[in-house]
Structure 1
Amino acid sequence: MTSTIVVLTEESLGSGDVENLRALMGEEPTRFDILVPADTGRNLLVDVLDNLSLLDFSAAFKDLTGGRQTKAEGVKEAVTELAESLEALQAAGLEATGSVTGEDPVAAVVETAKRTGASQVVVITTPHAIEDTFRTDWANEAQDRLGVPVLHLYSGSGFIGGS
């Protein structure tokens, strides 16, 4: 029987992410259902505080001076990130499908996990100091709503988030 792992990512999966996902497969056949949000619903103040806590002053300044995407730009970027992620997984010989989510990425994860009978959910993000500290990140929200394990990985690394 093929198991399903639902993956929510806020950016294109890189080679490190693909290898981390491969390690989760185990011995049984696994397919991945990739979700990329077109609108992350992020809060400007939280983004600025996250960037300042990570000493990324240029990103904090960009957030404050209007560096936000339009909805159309967000959808276009999400479609590109999804295509790149699917290509990376398929190039590694992994079975993967995916879609772009709407305004509530966690609701999309919950719906997809229930519809596919997912055995696990993986959330791949960059570090978000405020959300991770106060456990308001996507992984914690998904864990609260689902009865399957939710693993939070930081993009491009093997570091596990605080979920």
Structure 2
Amino acid sequence: MTDTILVLTEDTLAAADVAHIVSLHDGESLQYRVLVPADTERNVLVSLVDQLSMGELREALDTVLGREPEPAEATADAAEQLADSLAAFADAGVAATGTVVDDDPLPALRAAVASEGAREVVVVTYPHALEDTFHRDWASRARDELQVPVLHLYSGTSELG
């Protein structure tokens, strides 16, 4: 049985992200499974602080005005991000499968670890000022709940979260 690496991402994986993930286990025969949450619910305060800390003023205004995506739109966006992420793995010569999951990805991650016996989880996100600082980000929560190693990478960089 081939070991599985679960990849949880909040956005489309860039070629650099896939290269970093694959390089972690260079030469090993692994299965990769990508999970992309459909972002249907946002914590307004957390989103606002993140957006302001990143200089994303237009996004911050949308947050304040309550412009959240409808569930169907959020699911369609997540499906597109998943398809593009799987294409990035294919472009790197690595086969991967994936699934769109609920807004809170931890239950799906927990189920995938249990059902597939995943040996590791890689979480790829943008920096989140409040969640990262107070360890409420996906990677920290996964480390608290799962019995497998969890690596947190910041999207598009080689920085660890």
TM-score category (smaller protein): over 0.9
| Pairwise CA RMSD | 1.3
Cα displacement string for residues 120-157 of structure 1 (whole angstroms, at most 9, x for unaligned residues): 10010111000000000000111111111100111111
- The letter of the residue matching 2:62 is K
User: Is 1:58 matched up with 2:58?
Assistant: yes
Q: Output one character per residue of 1:11-38: Cα deviation in whole Å (capped at 9) or x when no partner.
A: 1111110111111123320110000001
Query: Could you tell me the TM-score, scaled by structure 2's length?
Result: 0.94
Cα distance, 1:140–1:31 mapped onto 2, change above 3 Å: same
Alignment of 1:143-158 (within 5 A): 143-158=143-158
Give the Cα–Cα distance (whole angstroms) in 1 for the partners of residues 67 and 27 of structure 2. 45
Q: Which residue of 1 aligns with 2:77?
A: 77
CA distance in 2 between partners of 1:8 and 1:106 (Å): 10
User: What is the match of residue 125 of structure 1?
Assistant: 125
CA–CA separation in structure 1 for the residues paired with 2:56 and 2:103: 26
Distance 1:115 1:55 in 2: 40
The 10-residue stretch of structure 1 (133-142 or 98-107) with the greater mean CA deviation from structure 2: 98-107
Q: Is contact 2:139-2:150 (8 Å) kept?
A: yes
Report % sequence identity. Answer: 46
Do the aligned residues in 2 keep the contact of 1:30 with 1:95 (CA within 8 Å)? Answer: no
Partner of 1:14: 14
Could you list the runs of 5+ residues in structure 1 that have no partner in the other structure?
none
2:113 aligned partner, one-letter code: A
Inter-partner Cα distance in structure 2 for 1:143 and 1:111:
15
AA partner of residue 104 (structure 2): D
Q: Residues of 1 paired with 2:139 and 2:40: CA distance?
A: 13
- Report if the CA contact (8 A) 1:40-1:104 is conserved: no
Runs of 4 or more off by more than 6 Å in structure 1? none
Q: Equivalences for 1:25-36 in 2 at 5 Å? A: 25-36=25-36
Range 134-143 or range 40-49, more displaced:
40-49
Q: Which moved more, 1:17-26 or 1:29-38?
A: 17-26
Provide the TM-score with structure 1 as the length reference.
Answer: 0.93
How far does residue 40 in structure 1 lie from its aligned partner after superposition?
5.8
Q: In structure 2, what residue type is equivalent to 1:94?
A: V
Q: Which moved more, 1:98-107 or 1:151-160?
A: 98-107
Tell me, in whole angstroms, the C-alpha distance in 1 between the residues paired with 2:34 and 2:10: 10
